[in-house]
Amino acid sequence: MSVSVQAEDFDVGAEMAALAEGRTDIGAIVSFTGLVRDMAKGAAISDMELEHYPGMTEKALKEIEAQANARWDLQGSRIIHRYGRLAPGARIVLVLTASPHRQAAFEAAEFLMDYLKSRAPFWKKEGTAGGGHWVDAREADEDALKRWDQE
Amino acid sequence: MSVSVQAEDFDVGAEMAALAEGRTDIGAIVSFTGLVRDMAKGAAISDMELEHYPGMTEKALKEIEAQANARWDLQGSRIIHRYGRLAPGARIVLVLTASPHRQAAFEAAEFLMDYLKSRAPFWKKEGTAGGGHWVDAREADEDALKRWDQE
Amino acid sequence: MQVLYFAWLRERIGIPREEVETSAVTVADLVAELRGREPRYELAFSDMKSVRVALDQELSSLDASLDGVREVAFFPPMTGG
Amino acid sequence: MQVLYFAWLRERIGIPREEVETSAVTVADLVAELRGREPRYELAFSDMKSVRVALDQELSSLDASLDGVREVAFFPPMTGG
């Protein structure tokens, strides 16, 4: 279990290797990488500014990760979330989960991403030709979160 | 879209970089890596022998990948499946999916793995102290496949 | 107590944080007090459906008590991931 | 036609493939013919619930016709991934 909030980029292959280092009991590793898209709602995006709440962000990510580990049989997990100014194509977020079985690894990764979307104190501002604007929270993301309560 | 059936190991980071190369329209990349576990049903595994059906394997993987691409809005996908003798901890299979949205990338990766488990002509033989034995198909894997018909 | 603002709340109010002396009992009381100060606060807090609050870095609610709280943060719904 | 065997079917029958001259109409007819040959075939095909078949490298079923088929493969349920 490990969480990083950083301005720097990350290396998915290296993070995955670190998670599995010296182990032969892992059956499945799932990774999710989120990237800055060059378009949003039909408008070209020049860059994205990610603001966060230092102190609370780390706490929130650790809590989210602990919840996933309590709920699924995970052998390892990793969350990296960047902040600052990012260009289209840049990596924003990485979630890794390792488990003996594929279903647990997939579900835990989806759970972590659903929580990060709506419960981690990050705010995105997209730069367009018409100026910068804050990304609205999507109702679909809030709905995605609810499915984890029902189970 | 691309499929490889090979004895050689693969590099997840390099495969992911190749999938996203020169693109700024991807929002989400999901990877699944399957590994040889050192234990199965309480018995220590010394190695795993993966047999396949050359010719049919490539066809089956391409068909599975085409189905995923027809069903979800994917910007790229990749399947690598190894065969031959593998040690505990070794990578067996890689599935990558790229999409504008996380849900499509997750679902397509799960779909591909569910199909690979039961519909790609591979057979696993585990080596134990008591000799080698062929891994039985799991009913849970057949059930996992059915959920994709119901939607 | 320290009051922090993020994203468009920060932009509308014009500062990222400030020390506030208050006898407000709940978060809602504090919001009412801030809104009474100046139009920029009034504007920032005009649509409370779009405002979230954290007390000492834990997500909380508008009717929560401020008793013993040292850091209050206001921000829009989060858009991480 | 070419008949291929994989995994424990290959091990029980003792060969990975063979050329078979047959007038069998369906896959089931072919299986019956092979079972009549020798005990190792009888053993390999004793539990048909655990046998899958591919015709010219496409998954098929036991009642499928062999008309025009050049390659028949028998194997246990697949365990990929």
pTM of the model: 0.96
Judged against a pLDDT cut of 90, whether residue D25 lies above it is answered with yes
Mean pLDDT along residues A31-52: 95
Mean pLDDT of chain B: 96
Q: Does B38 touch chain A (CB under 8 A)?
A: yes
Q: Does A82 touch chain C (CB under 8 A)?
A: no
Judged against a pLDDT cut of 70, whether residue D36 lies above it is answered with yes
Domain count, chain B: 1
Q: Does D80 reside within a domain? A: no
pLDDT at position B151: 60
Chain A partners of B30 at a C-beta cutoff of 8 Å? Answer: 30-33, 109
Nearest beta carbon to residue C79 from set A53, A59, A137: A137
Chain A partners of C59 at a C-beta cutoff of 8 Å? Answer: 119
Question: What is the band of B19 on the pLDDT scale with cuts at 50, 70, 90?
Answer: very high
The closest of A74, B36, C42 to D79, measured between CA atoms, is B36
Domain count, chain C: 1
What angle do helix axes A102-119 and B102-119 make, rounded to 10 degrees?
180
pLDDT digits (tens, 9 = 90+) for B97-130: 999 999 999 999 999 999 999 999 999 999 999 8
pLDDT digits (tens, 9 = 90+) for A86-130: 999 999 999 999 999 999 999 999 999 999 999 999 999 999 998
pLDDT digits (tens, 9 = 90+) for B59-92: 999 999 999 999 999 999 999 999 999 999 999 9
Asked if B53 and D80 come within 8 Å (Cβ–Cβ), the reply is no
Q: Does B100 touch chain A (CB under 8 A)?
A: yes
Asked if B29 and A33 come within 8 Å (Cβ–Cβ), the reply is yes
pLDDT at position B1: 84
Asked if C80 and A116 come within 8 Å (Cβ–Cβ), the reply is yes
The fraction of chain A above a pLDDT of 90, given in percent, is: 90
Q: Does C80 touch chain A (CB under 8 A)?
A: yes
Asked if D57 and B56 come within 8 Å (Cβ–Cβ), the reply is yes
Mean pLDDT along residues C75-81: 96
Distance from CA of A148 to the nearest CA of B (A): 15
Mean pLDDT of chain D: 97
Q: Does C81 reside within a domain? A: no
Please give the C-alpha separations between residue D7 and each of A106, A120, B135, D3, D11, in angstroms, as whole numbers.
29, 49, 10, 14, 6
Q: Which of residues 17-56 of C touch A (CB under 8 A)?
A: 54
- Least CA distance to D52: which residue of chain B? B121
Asked if D80 and B59 come within 8 Å (Cβ–Cβ), the reply is no
Asked if D78 and B134 come within 8 Å (Cβ–Cβ), the reply is no
Distance from CA of B116 to the nearest CA of D (A): 5
Mean pLDDT of chain A: 96
Distance from CA of A131 to the nearest CA of B (A): 20
- Least CA distance to A104: which residue of chain B? B110
pLDDT at position A40: 87
pLDDT at position B45: 96
Domain boundaries, position B55: 3-150
Q: Convert chain A into a string of H (helix), E (strand) and C (coil).
A: CEEEEECCCCCHHHHHHHHHCCCCCCCEEEEEEEECCCEECCEECCEEEEEECCCHHHHHHHHHHHHHHHHCCCCEEEEEEECEEECCCCEEEEEEEEECCHHHHHHHHHHHHHHHHHHCCEEEEEEECCEEEECCCCHHHHHHHHHHHHC
Question: What is the band of A151 on the pLDDT scale with cuts at 50, 70, 90?
Answer: low
Q: Does C12 reside within a domain? A: yes
Mean pLDDT along residues B16-35: 97
Q: Does C80 reside within a domain? A: no
Question: What is the band of D57 on the pLDDT scale with cuts at 50, 70, 90?
Answer: very high
The fraction of chain B above a pLDDT of 70, given in percent, is: 99
- Least CA distance to B60: which residue of chain D? D58
The CATH number assigned to the domain holding B105 equals 3.90.1170.40
The CATH number assigned to the domain holding C49 equals 3.10.20.30
Asked if C78 and A120 come within 8 Å (Cβ–Cβ), the reply is yes
Instruction: Give residues with Cβ within 8 angstroms of D2, minimum separation 6.
Output: D17, D18, D19, D20, D70, D71, D72
Asked if B53 and D73 come within 8 Å (Cβ–Cβ), the reply is yes
Q: Does C24 reside within a domain? A: yes
Domain boundaries, position D30: 2-75
Chain B partners of D47 at a C-beta cutoff of 8 Å? Answer: none
